[in-house]
Amino acid sequence: MTLAITDEQNDLRATVRRFVDRELSLDRVRELMATTEVFDRDLWVRFDTDLGILGLSIPEEYGGSGAGQQELGYVFEEFGRSLVPSPLLATHGLAVPALLASADVAAARRILPQIAVGSTVATVAWMAPGGDWVVLAPEVVGTQTADGWRLTGPTSYVLDGLSADVLLIVARTEDTVSLFAVTDDAAGVRRTALPPLDQTRPLAKIELTEAPATLIGEYGDGGRILSTALDYAGTLLAAEMVGGAQACVDMSVEYAKVREQFGRPIGSFQAIKHKCAEMYVAVEGARAAAYFAMWTATEDPTELPRVATVAKSMAAEAYFRAAADNVQIHGGIGFTWEHDAHLYFKRAKASMQLFGDVGAYRRRLADRIGL
């Protein structure tokens, strides 16, 4: 086993960083925050044509490059560094792993090639309004009719639910749960934007009324498919959080070098030195956990349920601490709308809660290792 980054992976990271720095400055991010979809469709397509990243984790037989989760994780890390608003987590963190876990070849052939070229955005929905991320208790009900499956009921906190072209819905089917696909042009689908804490990551509530749907995978296999998808999503989210946390460390250190108080840089004061050092140590620990989870997702996926929970919880704590300390180190200006520190703080807090908070992930780990 080696976790060393290869030359090819370093080249990928450098290429993605140059593209993001050129096309998605934080000023541009603020502009996208004010739009309905909160991302640029044309730029999404260029993620494929210019970078080739939309097919990284998609097997070659479905139009992707089949590179693996490590390469995709490095992309997430770079996106997190710059708070890139995109449906990458919804599509490649949730929907793609769900489709692959379903072993539904027909569905994969229908949807994955379109995702790989950027013409389709997909997401997964399972939470009931007022529910939580951990307990699987969907309120959407699937009913089989003479014309096929129909879905009725609400689901909430759907990542990129307003912009998704394909909705993968976890629904109750009698005494079990199953996964279904609903297209964006289907009748009986109503989408409503939810007010997010993190304005770079939109959430939606979706209400279904006899919406036509296609069963994905085996009947009653929705719980297993979702659990697998969440492990991959947690791994990629951990990588993204590491990128954001590192950006906070870099911002803090740079500011500590130039901000003067009492005639000397504030970075010369022990309190600031210790805070920056503690931020760095926490981020490096989270990075190690995230990189190991990325490796595990590709090389030893049977261990991912345990490893992903560690990575997500460690990265969440490190990012939130780094983002909060970054605001503190910047002092009064760090609390202003004009400064970027609050954008990272909101992303850190929202990411910490996404898919379950730190406590939920630790309980999940305890269950998975038999404690």
331 conformational bin, left if phi > 0, alpha if psi -120 to 50, beta if neither: left
Q: What is the mean pLDDT of the chain?
A: 94
Give the CATH number for residue 159: 2.40.110.10
134 and 107 in one domain? no
Measured CA to CA in angstroms, residue 57 lies from 75, 112, 228, 357 at distances of 11, 10, 15, 26
pTM score: 0.96
- Tokens standing for 54? 């939309």
DSSP code of 127?
P
62 and 51 in one domain? yes
- pLDDT above 90: percentage of residues in the chain: 82
Q: pLDDT tens for residues 293-352?
A: 999 999 999 999 999 999 999 999 999 999 999 999 998 888 898 999 999 999 999 999
19 and 71 in one domain? yes
Supply the pLDDT for residue 252: 94
Give the CATH number for residue 281: 1.20.140.10
Weakest-pLDDT range from 42-56, 188-202, 212-226, 261-275 = 261-275
Which range marks the domain in which residue 98 is found?
Answer: 7-121
Q: How confident is the model at residue 194 (pLDDT cuts 50, 70, 90)?
A: very high
Mean pLDDT of 158-181: 96
121, 152, 177: which is the final residue of a domain?
121
Placement of tokens 């050092």 in the chain: 277
Q: Which of 84, 81, 13 is nearest to 247 (CA)?
A: 81
Supply the pLDDT for residue 266: 78
The answer, yes or no, to whether residue 260 has pLDDT greater than 80, is no
What's the total number of domains in the chain? 3
149 and 89 in one domain? no
188, 218, 248: which is the final residue of a domain?
218
Mean pLDDT of 163-184: 96
The answer, yes or no, to whether residue 135 has pLDDT greater than 90, is no
Placement of tokens 């096929």 in the chain: 148
256 and 212 in one domain? no
Supply the pLDDT for residue 238: 98
Supply the pLDDT for residue 1: 58
